[in-house]
Structure 1
Amino acid sequence: MLPPDLSLAEHPHSVPCQIRHGITFEHVTFCYPQSTEPVLRDLSFHLKPNCCTALVGPNGAGKTTLIKLLFRFYDPTEGRILLDGIDLRKYDLDDLRAHMGAIFQDFVRYEFTLGENIGVGNLSCMQDRSLLRRAAEEADMLHFIDQLPRGLDTPLGREFGGRELSGGEWQKLALARAFLRDCSLLVLDEPTAALDAQAEYNLYSHFQKLTQGRMTVLISHRFSSVRMADTILYLSQGQIREEGSHEELMQRQGEYARLYTLQAAQYVREGLSHEEGIH
């Protein structure tokens, strides 16, 4: 089912196997159906290929809505989004989404086996245990799996008397699912929200290796988590207020620098180590 006003191209383009020029937002404004108040206002920016762009800002700033436009859950009310110079609306919709991988805040907890939970990220890899294990390792979950008597064959959830996982373990599974997908664009929306500080540090310590060769968009309310991004976009009230690397934004002493400093001080007060909290 297509959302209202989401049209399909009559003669759609195929998405290139490798994105060469990136994704460009040109004066994008968006209002949800039945609303006249824009969530995004005249956004213009560029996502570079093979680079990581982080989106930060207060709740309601429009970060998740921006991702919905990337996946064409909706189309812009005004403006356009270009992938390698071609409007997203001119691409085959199924092909477009096949080139994208994501972990959202409300990820699904399938009551399948552990391996099947990872495999649904890329059904063609469901039976390839080596690829399933590699995705689990990238999500910092392989050691946990190897300690289970049935490993990848462990059933999960209460429905069939399977093993119950913690919130953090389910989130790692969702991460493994995303890493299994051979995609050109990887979107991580609050990927460590349910992880403790050590698990979050373990993930981000090899983040560049995990995202190598992929265009990556990272959304996080934890400013310390986006330091490794090539570009950081600070959104507020549906607009980009600041743009640059972590070092550049800290030097400007704007809102990003103020909030980063506040969060860093909070980590110290809570007794987290420098490496775990504000590395």
Structure 2
Amino acid sequence: MTNSKNGAARSVDAALPLRSKAVLITGAGRGIGEAYARLCADLGARVFLVDRNPDTVSAVSEEIVQKGGKASWSRCDVSDPADASAAVDACVSVYGRIDGLVNNAAVYAIGDVGELDDETCRRMVEVNVLGVIYLTHATIRAMRRGRGRGRGGSIVNVTSGAQAGIPGVSVYGATKGAVASFTYGVAVDLAGTDIRINAMSPLAETSMTKDGRVYREQRGEPYLPTRLPTISDNAAAVAYLLSDHAADVRGQVVRVDPNGLSLMAHPGLLPSTLQPGSAWTFAAVREAFERSLASKQVPLGVVPASF
């Protein structure tokens, strides 16, 4: 009898790996953020959805509830630190805790270098970088206040392959590179704690990829493959990172693309040429490049062969 009950419990946990976890998801009113929210709820999470558009996010929340899930929502501009902190507090107020955060909200704009206006660039930095920082800091403070319950917490920041270079999105890519670097740094800060942080680099047929394809096709230039992973493929990876099954995964950037599921390499140093004690003259540096470094240049672009 006992074994049967334990077996049933394990079966339920396997079917609902996010059962009872309180997960806050930004940019959840549409697109890939909405997919994250729906799948997390299907896997047992109590989701708290935030978005700048109250109409769309409230509709997603209501549909999740109608399907038997648990969902609440709030309007939030993640670039406002007061709004970000209030969203985390609201999640804790509704569910009594916060176990997970998905920093998905982002602003995207495409244009060649020098084409984007300053206001658009500023807005991308505010939402894509500062918004992630504000929500992450507020969530970590809340998770630390809720220690002692044996559940820990998981933060998933959404970055992009654009951090490695994609034509037309250098500013957007810079903001996503900042998110990746922030993830690495916070993971180091959280080492040895019950809170972990990772990043997700998604790819699917979304409004962003459609805009990118049109932009490149208008210039007669190749873009990403026409067959992309589905939104649900990306949602499954995010849900995994939020689950206890990923307890030992820290400081990683998980990538979904047509080649499959992978990890993106962290920035690092290639072998040195000029060693300490060498003469650091112009001639020595020039010789080092001509002899070794120039031939070791790292290819540009997240998928160089496609461009």
The two structures have a TM-score, normalised by structure 2, of 0.30
Which structure has greater helix proportion? 2
Greater relative CO, 1 or 2 (CA 8 Å, sep 6+): 1
The two structures have a TM-score, normalised by structure 1, of 0.32
Which structure has greater strand proportion? 1
